[in-house]
Amino acid sequence: MLPPAARLAARRLLGLASASASEAAGRRLASSPIAAAGYSAAASRGSVSSTRPFSTALNYHLDSPENKPDMKWEFSEANMKKVNEILSHYPSNYKQSGIIPLLDLAQQQHGGWVPVAAMDAIAKIVEVAPIRVYEVATFYTMFNRTKVGKYHLLVCGTTPCMIRGSREIEDTLLEHLGVKRNEVTSDGLFSVGEMECMGCCVNAPMIAVADYSKGSEGYTYNYYEDLTPKRVVEIVEMLRRGETPPRGTQHPERKNCGPAGGNTTLLGEPKPPPCRDLDAC
């Protein structure tokens, strides 16, 4: 008899395998209109198990007119200087150590996402097989592989922010912008995604705004904390007007991560420990 944890893991793996097989069958059948219609009818009857999305992002590549390997892509002249500066931090036989910062730079240059042609260009620069870049880009969720808005809004979904209302913040953003998660508004300005722990739980709930509107030269990434549904809409409208909202806490009585109204403890110098003569050290 397997222990409970092992049984749970086995059930999870079987569920993943079933979902993957179902999705693959759907893609194979979709090439035939007749077969695709039959597959859709079977799915509507419940004969085919539906797939469950285990990620908010696409986990495989599909060629499109704006994202395919045979497209020409290269770093700008200004960014090539940054590429050389990044690679100078690593030994010449470990250029692949620069893949993450180079992907980040490519994403900034390309308006917030990394096409497969950019990954191929990076592979040539660091002298590795393209798959070595693909596996990094697909592992780290901060690399976007489909289009995002010029202002990419990331809502923290970890427990402290969720308890403090992050779901309401996300719902407000989606309703105000008229999009679903990871969709881009019709004007190309905004998209909304989710991010796990931004490390500022004391100021929950919060969002991060990746600003790609000015290219890699003017790229910024700022936190907006202590949010309310009303305040997050105000921030969006300020960005729409080209203004720069004050980053950090949005609570009028707080300074950085300090308590509203000022400290109530630690008002003076702490007493030294009685067991040590600190002056003698």
Average pLDDT, whole number, for the chain? 83
Lowest mean pLDDT among 5-19, 87-101, 121-135, 249-263: 5-19
Give me the pLDDT at residue 259, please: 87
The runs of H, that is alpha helices, within the chain are 4-29, 33-45, 77-87, 99-109, 116-126, 130-139, 159-163, 166-177, 229-240
Give me the pLDDT at residue 130, please: 95
User: Torsion-angle region of residue 71: left (phi > 0), alpha (psi -120 to 50) or beta?
Assistant: beta
SS3 108: helix
CB atoms within 10 A of CB 130: 15
Give me the pLDDT at residue 66, please: 86
Closest CA to 26 of 12, 2, 42: 42
Residue 4 has pLDDT above 80, yes or no: no
- Residue pair 148/108 in contact (Cβ under 8 Å)? The answer is no
What pTM did the predictor assign? Answer: 0.71
CA–CA separation, 53 vs 168, rounded Å?
21
Q: What is the pLDDT of residues 219-273, one digit of tens each?
A: 999 999 999 999 999 999 999 999 999 999 999 988 888 888 888 888 888 877 7
Give me the pLDDT at residue 40, please: 46
CATH 3.40.30.10 given to domain 151-249? yes
| Domain ranges across the chain | 57-139, 151-249
In our burial notation (b when 16+ CB lie closer than 10 A, e otherwise), range 19-33 reads beebeeebeebeeee
In our burial notation (b when 16+ CB lie closer than 10 A, e otherwise), range 150-184 reads bbbbbbbbbebbbebbbeebbebbbeebebeebbb
CB atoms within 10 A of CB 65: 6
Cα 112–chain centre separation: 10
Give me the pLDDT at residue 24, please: 54
SS3 155: strand
Structure tokens given for 105: 């730079």
Q: What is the pLDDT of residues 169-223, one digit of tens each?
A: 999 999 999 999 989 999 999 999 999 898 889 999 999 999 999 888 889 999 9
CATH class held by domain 57-139: mainly alpha
SS3 184: strand
Residue 82 has pLDDT above 90, yes or no: yes
Residue 31 has pLDDT above 60, yes or no: no
Give me the pLDDT at residue 10, please: 62
Residue 149 has φ and ψ, to the nearest 5°, of -75, 165
Q: In which band, very low, low, confident or very high, does the pLDDT at 61 lie, cut at 50, 70 and 90? A: confident
Spatial CB neighbours of 73, under 8 Å, sequence gap ≥ 6: 110, 115, 117, 118, 120, 121
Lowest mean pLDDT among 63-67, 73-77, 80-84, 161-165: 63-67
- Residue pair 244/261 in contact (Cβ under 8 Å)? The answer is no
Give me the pLDDT at residue 163, please: 94
Across the range 39-55, mean pLDDT stands at: 43
